[in-house]
Structure formats: structure tokens, C-alpha cells
Structure 1
Amino acid sequence: MNIFLKTEDEIELMRQANLLVGRTLGELAKHIKPGVSTLQLDKVANEFICDNGAVPTFKGFPNPFGPPFPASICTSVNDVVVHGIPDAATVLKDGDIISIDCGVLLNGFNGDSCYTFCVGEVAPEVRQLLKVTKESLYIGIEAAMAGRHVGDIGCAIQDYCQSFGYGIVRELTGHGIGREMHEDPKIPNYGGRGRGIMLKSGMCIAIEPMVTMGNRAIGIMPDKWTIKTLDGRPAAHFEHTIAIRKGKADILSSFEEVERLEGKLY
């Protein structure tokens, strides 16, 4: 396992990349409404990222089981947990939810963040799933500090989400991040306190709860990217990139642009 501790200068470069991801999600928030296709959203994201001097990291991202990812963002609608591929046929409808995962490479460092958006009027029980998943992200971040362990993060997320009867996806995890989009260590959204590797100041990780309204079982579609819940019920996904400190973690990405436009819906 190769874990790269970042210098303060490197963390600041990572902050710039992650703040650009946050601004991209904010730009996308302006376009999320019924009648818009996920391909249209991808074009908005690609143009915004490139206009700001960065590269969309997801485009061309390798897949050991199939073709590289063909788009700049992942657009995961309703029962799609992660890695939804934007296309012209997927058109947002009133009552949908859409998780948009976005990554950029700027000045040699990666940014990575995800937000699940409501499309029009969403059912209260689905809105509750989004609220709990987002809250669990911050609960996980509170557990992420030097001297604690990876398992402390996962345990905090798991305990909170399961107290509402939700499922925690096991097959997919958060990850270290830096010059590469995916670095060691893996950051599961489940686990035991005091277990796993110890967190050290200077580690940069992406924490990303992937939570299902029903059973946690998932399956992969024939495109070898799109991952759905097997029971067809909705899933939510929120993600921040953080830097580990001796005290409170430093959140490098931001939902401020989204929340400024949408208000704090959940």
C-alpha cells in the first residue's frame, strides 16, 4: 500500500481543484430540471471544466472490465447508485433524483466530489434518504482525524444510515486522492471502530457514502459501468475530498455553490 502524505502547498493545490469541482456542480444545478437530458448536463460540465483550465478526469478513465468511461461526469438517476453514463435518451422527469459525480485535474492534482440533486417535487421518503446520506457524509468527516482509523469513518456512516433502515453499499468505497484520482487507502462506508489503517496528518481522502433506500444489493449493467440497486429502489451518493489534520478535518471540496442556488433542501 502506497499512501502519499501531502505538503501544505500540495493541499492548497488540491483545494483549488476541489473548489473547481464545487463550482462545476453549482453550474450544473442551474440546469437540473425536468426535460433536460443527462447528455446536456455532461456538455455543460465539460465546457465549464475546460474553460477553467482543467481536465475532466473521468473522461477516458480506464475500466479493467470494459471500455473507458466516455463522459466528463457520472449521472446516476434514481436506482442508479454510481457511474451512470450521460446520454441523450435519459431525460430528467419531475420527482427524479440524480447523483452527479465530478472529477477534475488542475495543476497536477485531482478534485472529486458528488452531490445528489432533486428534480422538481421529490417524494418525502426519497428526500429523507438524501438528507440522511448527506448528514452521514459529515458524520464520517467528523470521525476523520489523525490518530483515528479508517474503520472509525465507516462505522460512523454505517451506524447512522442503518439506524434509518437504509442499506450501505459494500462493494464500492471512498479512496485516497492526490496526483492520482484513486490512491491508497480505500475508505469503506462500513466497518469497526479502531480498525483499519491509522489516519495521519497530510493524508487526503475522498469520503463518499453510497446509500440505498432498500436492500444494499447492487448489480452492474451490460455497459460495464452503470451500477444499480437490484430491488429498483433509489440510492443517494454524496462525496467530499478532505485533508486529515490532528484535529478537525479540512474539507477541500464545497457544496456552497449548490446550496446557494438551491437553498439547504436537506
Structure 2
Amino acid sequence: MIRIKNEKQIDGIRKSCKALARLYQALIPRVREGISTGELDKFCVDFIKSIGGIPAWYSQNFPGAACISVNDEVIHGIPSAKRIIKNGDFVSIDIGIDLGGYISDSAVTVPVGPVSPEKQKLLSVTADCLKAGIEACRAGNRISDISRAVFDIADAAGFGVVHEYCGHGVGLKVHEDPQIPNVPSRGGPNPRIVPGMVLAIEPMINMGTGDVDLLDDDWTVVTADGSVSCHMEHTVAVFPDHTEVLTVLNPGEA
């Protein structure tokens, strides 16, 4: 069932999302050579606790406040003191905050030091996919319009689009209906986008195949061919005349 949020609920989700945007603002400069993914996760835990929040992934029994996926890891990478970031790495970070029962969800991919032109292209194309998906997320459109917008850009660039995992509704729980595939579906639910929806749009784009495998830890998802992956995500709220990106800081916000 799709949960349509009222004004009070959207305001609560917005506050959680702005807190998450501030966390990323402080975290991204710390993603550098020599730091461990465990240290990055501890920073996230400390930040979230300092604002009175709870890491949203704890409710999913994930062993960290942040999913930190490096290079061929697509999503759900487990933070570890033993995983040390190196120059040239692609570090995808996915974080959610439960702030007073309101859930935010956003992901970024951070290139560490100089990276190859191919990785730079993947980063740029994934950003374009996210922007296009958000632009397609308008009242009156359908979920498949988001999927098509994401897929067409990535496919035209020659990249693989992950089809086994997808975006989703969010706000009162970590994962809500509807599912938002990044690949257009030939069947299944395709609800119309209506005001009051709060959605997490998250392209997962691979340099090679769109196929993925699950590691033995039952969390970490990797590309099937070992190619590098890029993951970006925003939480958005749909209104009758516009769609608001909640997980960004606007000018003047701190």
C-alpha cells in the first residue's frame, strides 16, 4: 500500500532529510586515502546521535549506520576498520536517519583522488540519471516514467543498469511502496505519481553489466563482472505543482 503523507508528515521527513544533507556536508571531505570505512561509519553514528536521531539502517539489522560500498560493490557494503580507502577508489555511501520517527534516505558516490576518465564519465552519467529521474517524478506521471528516464541515459552511455534492486517509497518506514525500478518493466504495478508521495529515487549504474551477485555476508551486492559501480540517491516529495528534493541544502540553510 502506498502511504500518502500529509503536510505535518512531510515537514517531519523534510527535517530528517536536511539533517542528512548536513551529515553529508561534513562527511564527504573525510572520504580520503588512508581512512577506514569503519571510521567513516563511526562519524555517521556520532553525528546522528548528536542530533537526537537513530541510524535508520539499525531497524533493518544492518551492521552500520552507513552502507559503504567500494568500487565493484554496488550497495550494502559493510563498514569495517580493516577496509582502508585508497586513491582511485569509488566510494558509494548510503545513509538514512530516523529523526523522531521520520526517515530520510540519500546516497552519494565519492571519487577518491584522481580517477580514470571512465570513472569520471560513470559519475557524470549517474548524476544525469538521478536528475532525469527526479524531473520525471511529477504529479500525473507514472513510476515507469522515472524508470525510463534513468535507463535511457545510462543505456545510451553504454553502462549497465542494476535491475534487481530499486528505489522506493520512504518517510515513515525505510522501505515503502511503490518500488521504483531503474529499468522499465514490461509488467507489474505502475502507479500514477500523486501529491503526497515521498520517494527515494536511486540510480545504480555499472561500468559493465547490470547483473549483480550477493556476497556470503548476505548484505554486500557486487557487480557480476567485477566492474565499478556508482550509486546516487535523493528523497523527494511530490506536490501538485512541483517536486521538492528534500535531501539537499538550499542557499541559506545550514
Q: TM-score category by the smaller chain?
A: over 0.9
- Structure 2 contact 137–238 (Cα < 8 Å) conserved: yes
Contact 1:24 1:45 in 2 (8 A): yes
Deviation at 1:88, TM superposition (A): 1.3
- In the TM superposition, what are the counterparts of 1:72-221 in structure 2 within 5 Å? 72-191=65-184, 196-221=190-215
In structure 1, runs of 5+ residues without a counterpart are 62-67, 258-266
Describe the shift of the 1:138–1:154 C-alpha distance in structure 2 as closer, same or farther (beyond 3 A): same
Task: Quote the Cα distance in structure 2 between the aligned partners of 1:124 and 1:16.
Answer: 37
Is 1:49 aligned to 2:48, yes or no? yes
Q: Deviations over 1:123-151 (max 9, x none)?
A: 11101101110111010010011111000
Q: Where does residue 262 of structure 1 map in the other structure?
A: none
Tell whether the 8 Å contact from 1:78 to 1:98 is kept in structure 2 after alignment: yes
Deviation of 1:70 after TM superposition, in Å, equals 0.8
Q: Is the 8 A contact 1:144 1:249 kept in 2?
A: yes
Conservation of the 8 A alpha-carbon contact between 2:168 and 2:201: yes
Q: CA deviation at 1:246?
A: 2.4
1:19-57 CA distances to partner (integer Å, 9 max, x unpaired)?
A: 111111122112111000000000000000110111101
**Aligned residues, how many?**
250
CA distance in 2, matches of 1:7, 1:141: 21
Aligned position for 2:20 = 21
Distance 1:107 1:146 in 2: 28
- Please give the TM-score of this superposition, normalised by the length of structure 1: 0.91
User: Percent same amino acid among aligned pairs?
Assistant: 40
RMSD, matched Cα: 1.7
Q: In the alignment, does 2:231 pair up with 1:237?
A: yes
Deviations 1:97-144 (A, max 9, x none): 100000000121100000000111111110110111011101001001
SS in 1 for 2:95: strand
Whether contact under 8 Å (2:89, 2:112) holds in the other structure is yes
Separation in structure 2 between the aligned mates of residue 237 and residue 255 of structure 1, nearest angstrom: 20
Q: In structure 2, give the amino acid aligned to 1:129.
A: L
SS in 2 for 1:186: strand
CA distance in 1, matches of 2:241, 2:120: 32
C-alpha displacement at 1:60, in angstroms?
4.8
Structure 1 residue 201 displacement after superposition: 0.4
Between the aligned partners of 1:168 and 1:247, the Cα distance in structure 2 is 30
- Partner secondary structure for residue 153 of structure 1: helix
Unaligned runs of 5+ in 2: none
Cα distance in 2, alignment partners of residues 192 and 225 from structure 1: 25
